[in-house]
Structure 1
Amino acid sequence: MGKKGVLLVNLGSPDSTEVKDVRRYLDEFLMDERVIDIPYWKRFLLIKGIILNVRPKKSAEAYKKIWWKEGSPLVVISERFTKKIRDKIDLPVALGMRYGSMSMEKAFRELQEQNVTDVYLVPLYPHYAMSSFETVVEKAKELLEDSFKEMQMDVMAPFYDKPDYIKVMAQHLSKELEGFDYDHILFSYHGIPERHIYKGDPTGSHCKLNGTCCEIKSEAHKTCYRHQCFETTKGVVKELGLKEGTYRNSFQSRLLKDPWLRPYTDHELEAMPEQGIKKLAVITPAFVSDCLETLEEIAMEGKSEFLSFGGEDFKHISCLNDDDAWVEVMVDWIEKWKS
C-alpha cells in the first residue's frame, strides 16, 4: 500500500477578465473533443476561425460582472472548500482544474511531491456527462500514463443520488428559502446536446428522450446525465415534501444551434409569469460552486428576464460552495475511501 492522497477537480476559470486570458481559457475548453464533439478539423475551424474571434470579448464582460476582489468566484470557492477539507483529514489534498492555469497536472505534481502514490480523484460534478465528469477522468488517466506512472487512481462516482448529498442539498435549499415567499422552484441544470445522451448510452437503444426512458430501469442510467438530473430533483423534492406543481426542471447554457436538453431555462423564465408564477426561486444543482453560469446567467440575466416578462420576485439559490455541512459530507466520503 502506498501513501494516499486526494485530488479535487473543478471546471476552471480564466486567470483574469482580460480578453486575452478569456480567449486562452475558451480555446482550451472548447477545443476539448468531449465538449464540442465534432471532427477535429471542423472543431478547429469553428473555434479558431469563428468563436474565438467573437466570444472572448462578450465572455470577458460577463466575467467582469461576477469577478471577486480575490479572483474568479469558482476558483476562490473551490480553494476555500479544499482548505476546509484539508483541515479535517490527515491526507494530502490537492485542487486542480480541468481547464486553465490551475491545471490537473500541477495538482498531480503537488501530490507527487508529497510522495502520494494512491490518488482518490474527486470530480466536483454530481452528475455524469462526457463534457464534465468523463473529460476529467480521461484527462487524469492520460496524465498518469504520460507523467505519473508510479501513481494509481480510484475515482469517486457521480453522487447525484447519494442520500447524504440529497439531504445536505435539501437542507441548504430550505435554509436559503427562509423568509422568501415563493410560489415555484426551478431546478435549472447545465444543458448538454441531445446527441451526448445517445452517445453515452451503453445499450445503444435505451435512451429515447421521449419522457419515459428516464423512468425505466436501465444500465444506461449510469452514464445518463438527464436521468441523473431528474433523480436529484426527485430526491430533494421527497426530502422536503414539496407538492407536485410547485417545482420543475430545465436546462441552461446552450451553445451553437444543435438541439440541447429541454425544456430550456430561458424559455421557462419567459413563460412562467403568464402561467401565474410570480415569485420564483432558482437552484442550480449541476454545480457545487457558484460560477459564471450561476452568478451571471441565472442570478443576473435570468432574474432580469423573469422580471421583464411579468415576474415580481426572484431568488437565486447559491450553490453548496464551502458550506460546512457539505464539507462534512465530502470528508466522510474521503474517510470511507481512506479506510
Structure 2
Amino acid sequence: MKKGILLVNLGSPDSPDPKDVKKYLGEFLMDERVIDIPLVARTALVKGIILNTRPKQSAAAYKKIWWDEGSPLIVLSERLQNKIQQQVEQPVALAMRYGSMTIKKGLQELVDKGVEEVLLFPLYPQFAMATTETITVLAEELRQEFFPNLKIESVPAFYNKPDYIEVLSNSIKGHLEGKNYEHLLFSYHGVPERHIRKSDVTKSHCKIDGSCCVTPSKAHEFCYRHQCLEVTRLVAEKLQLQEGTYSTSFQSRLGFDPWLQPYTDRTIERLGKQGIKNMAIVTPAFVSDCLETLEEIAMEGEEIFHEVGGKSFTTIPCLNDDQEFVDLLSNWINNWVKKPEIAG
C-alpha cells in the first residue's frame, strides 16, 4: 500500500479582515469539542453573542502579527511541511482543522497521488478534546463518507517521548543562552476543567486536586493537564532547573466556567509583583507560533510584566521549522514507513 502523511495544525483566518475572522471563529467555536455544550446553547452563545463582538477585537490582534506572506501559523506550518518532505520519500500534505485548508482537501491531495494509507499527524504534543480528538474524529468521518478505501493511522500524543523532550529542551536552552533570567514560565493553552474530566477514561481518576496528575493512572493517556505538567517536569529535569525558578500556567481562557489554573496573565503579574525582574516564557502546547504566542504572550504578556515593574521579558519561539524538530518528525515518519507500528 502506498503511504502518505497528513500534517494537521489548528488553522487561521484567510486574512485579518473582520469578515474572514468571523467566518473562522464561527467554525472554530461551533465545534462541539471546543465549546462542549448542547447545540442550542452553543449556537446562542457563539452566533448570538461572541460573533457579534469578538471578530473585530480578534481581527485587530491578527493584524498586529500578520506577516507579508500570510498567517504566521500557516506560513510556519508550510515551512515545516516542505522541510519534512525533503527528508521523506512519501508525499507529505498539510491541512488545518479550521479554515480553508481543510482536512478533506489534504486527504484528497494524498489520494490523488495514489496514497492508500495515511499517517494522520496532529501537530500537538499533548492530547486534548479540542485539538487532537477533534482532528481524529473528523478525519474518520471524512474517511467513511468520502474515502472508504483509505486506511488512516493517527500519531498519539508525543509529550513524553525522550527525543521530543530533548529537542524541546535544546530549543529552550539555545534561546536562553546568554540571557539573564530569574524565572522560566511554561505557558500552555488552557481548556475548561470539564474537558479534563470528560477525557478521563476511568471516569473517576481526574479530580484536578493537585495529586491526581502525579498518581499513575490509565487516565493520563488522555489527560491534557497531566501531559502539560509532565512536559514541564521532564524539561526541567533535562535542563537541571532549580526548584522555584520555573512554573506552569495556562492561557487563553474563554467564558465564565472554571479553566485550568493558574492563569498565565495572572501568573506573569504575580511574578512581577514578587520582584522578578527578568523572566522567560515558553509555550510547549504549540509547535508553531501563532496568535496565542505572538500577540497574547509576546505582546500582551510583556506589557503586563512591565506594568508591574518587570524589566526583561524573553519569549522563546515555538519549535516551528527548527531543524532538530524537522529531523525528529522525519525520523518518526520514516520509522512508520518501515514498520507497522505508529510513528513516534
Q: CA deviation at 1:146?
A: 0.7
- 2:66 paired residue number: 67
C-alpha separation in 1, matches of 2:133 and 2:326? 23
SS of 1:186's partner is strand
| 1:145 is aligned to 2:144 | yes
Name the amino acid aligned to 1:110. Answer: E
What is the CA distance between 1:311 and its match in structure 2?
A: 0.7
1:219 deviates by 0.4
Match of 2:175 in 1: 176
In the alignment, what sits opposite 1:276?
Answer: 275
- Where do residues 25-64 of structure 1 align in structure 2 (5 Å cutoff)? 25-64=24-63
Amino acid at match of 1:44: T
| Partner AA of 1:28 in structure 2 | E
The aligned residue for residue 112 of structure 2 is: 113
Q: Distance in 1 between matches of 2:192 and 2:43?
A: 19
Deviations 1:286-309 (A, max 9, x none): 000000000000000000001101
| Counterpart check, 1:192 vs 2:196 | no
1:235 aligns with 2:227: no
Calculate the aligned-residue CA RMSD, in Å: 0.5
Matched, 1:203 2:231: no
User: What is aligned with 1:327?
Assistant: 326
Residue number in structure 1 paired with 2:161: 162
Query: For each residue in 1:202-249, what CA deviation from the matched residue of structure 2 results, as whole angstroms up to 9, or x when unmatched?
Result: 111101111000011000000000000011111111111111110000
Distance (Å, rounded) in 2 between the aligned partners of 1:317 and 1:57 = 28
Q: Distance in 1 between matches of 2:161 and 2:298?
A: 27
Which deviates more from structure 2 when the two are superposed, residues 267-276 or residues 329-338?
267-276
Task: Report the Cα distance in structure 2 between the residues aligned to 1:20 and 1:79, rounded to whole angstroms.
Answer: 24
- Displacement of 1:150 in angstroms is 1.3
1:147 counterpart letter in structure 2: F
Residue aligning to 1:338: 337
1:218 counterpart residue number: 217
Unpaired runs of 5+ in structure 2? 339-344
Equivalent position of 1:318 in the other structure: 317
* Unpaired stretches in structure 1, ≥5 consecutive residues: none
Q: Which amino acid is 1:69 matched to? A: D
3-state DSSP class of the match of 2:313? strand
Deviation at 1:274, TM superposition (A): 2.1
SS of structure 2 residue aligned to 1:271:
helix
Q: Which residue of 1 aligns with 2:89?
A: 90
Structure 1 residue 180: deviation in Å? 1.0
Give, in whole Å, the separation in 1 of the partners of 2:97 and 2:117.
Answer: 20
- Cα deviation, 1:28-84, whole Å, max 9, x if unaligned, reads 000000000000000001111110010000000000000000000000000000000
What's the TM-score once normalised by structure 1's chain length?
0.99
Is 1:125 the counterpart of 2:124 in the alignment?
A: yes
| Structure 2 residue aligned with 1:258 | 257
User: SS at 1:102's partner residue?
Assistant: coil
Count matched residues: 338
1:277 Cα deviation from its structure 2 partner? 1.3
CA–CA distance in structure 2, aligned partners of residues 80 and 318 of structure 1: 15
Identity value in percent: 57
Write out per-residue CA displacement over residues 254-305 of structure 1, whole angstroms, 9 at most, x where no aligned residue: 0011100000001101111222211010000000000000000000000000
Q: What is the distance in 2 between the residues matched to 1:86 and 1:202?
A: 36
Following superposition, the deviation at residue 331 of structure 1 comes to: 0.5
Q: Deviations over 1:292-337 (max 9, x none)?
A: 0000000000000011011111010000000000000000100111
CA distance in structure 2 between the partners assigned to 1:209 and 1:277 by the alignment: 28
CA distance in 2, matches of 1:208, 1:117: 42
2: CA distance, partners of 1:8 / 1:72: 17
Corresponding residue SS for 1:88:
coil
Q: Corresponding residue for 1:305?
A: 304
Which 4+ runs in 1 deviate beyond 3 A? none
Alpha-carbon distance between aligned partners in 1 of 2:312 and 2:189, rounded to the nearest angstrom: 23
Query: Structure 2: how far apart are the matches of 1:192 and 1:113?
Result: 37
Instruction: For residue 26 of structure 2, give the secondary structure of its aligned residue in structure 1.
Output: helix
Q: Does 1:291 align with 2:298?
A: no
Letter in 2 for 1:97: M
- In structure 1, distance between residues paired with 2:236 and 2:52: 43
Rounded Cα–Cα distance in structure 1 between residues aligned with 2:49 and 2:10 = 23
Per the alignment, residue 342 of structure 2 pairs with none
CA distance in 1, matches of 2:232, 2:222: 17
d(CA) in 2 for partners of 1:185, 1:32: 33
Q: Find out whether 1:249 has 2:248 as its counterpart.
A: yes
